[in-house]
Amino acid sequence: ADEAKDGVEAPMSEWQWAWLHFEHPVLCPVGSLVIGSRLDTDIHENTCRLAFYGRLVHAQGTDALEGAKALRLYKPKERRGVVDRVMDDGVTIIGKSLFKKNTDISVFLKLRLHTDVPGVVGTIDSAFGKSGKFKASFMNGDGTARLAPGAALHLRH
């Protein structure tokens, strides 16, 4: 984790993690400062060759496959859809283009649905027919008043 200029550690939400795998074992104790540089750049150019730095928080043995299994690596995904219509209650919307026809929406129920409007976040409640449309509700009714048909919806999972 990076440290702030005054020596105070940054909050965990700002931490960035990297798993480094080398061709040959490297002896490096936990807590060491690790610095990565770009050695393939021309040393005569006036550019910074520093790529990253940070503290080593965990050391892994020589078995790379075991190390990979112990980590819970994932790739963030995002689906994009649009508001089809806003219901009269002002809390519920019907959305489309987020799922394909006949998708099992049950695995996405209660996941957060983001909009381009700051602070307007909802949850997926149910499927709406079999065409891939869905119902979503928003915490505060005034948020949907700023949504119109065609407004962008983002499902990050």
3 state SS for 103-115: CCHHHHCCCEEEE
| pLDDT at res. 5 | 47
Domains observed in the chain: 12-70 (no CATH), 78-156 (2.40.10.190)
Look-up of token digits 């021309």: 42
pLDDT tens digits along 28-79: 899 999 998 888 888 888 888 888 888 888 877 777 667 667 677 777 899 9
Instruction: Report how far residue 117's alpha carbon sits from residue 142's, in angstroms, rounded to the nearest whole number.
Output: 12
Q: Under 8 Å CB-to-CB from 103, ≥6 apart: which residues?
A: 132
Q: Which of 12-26, 73-87, 110-124 has the lowest mean pLDDT?
A: 12-26
| pLDDT at res. 67 | 66
pTM for the model stands at 0.59
Q: In 69-130, where do the E strands start and end?
A: 78-86, 92-96, 112-115, 121-127
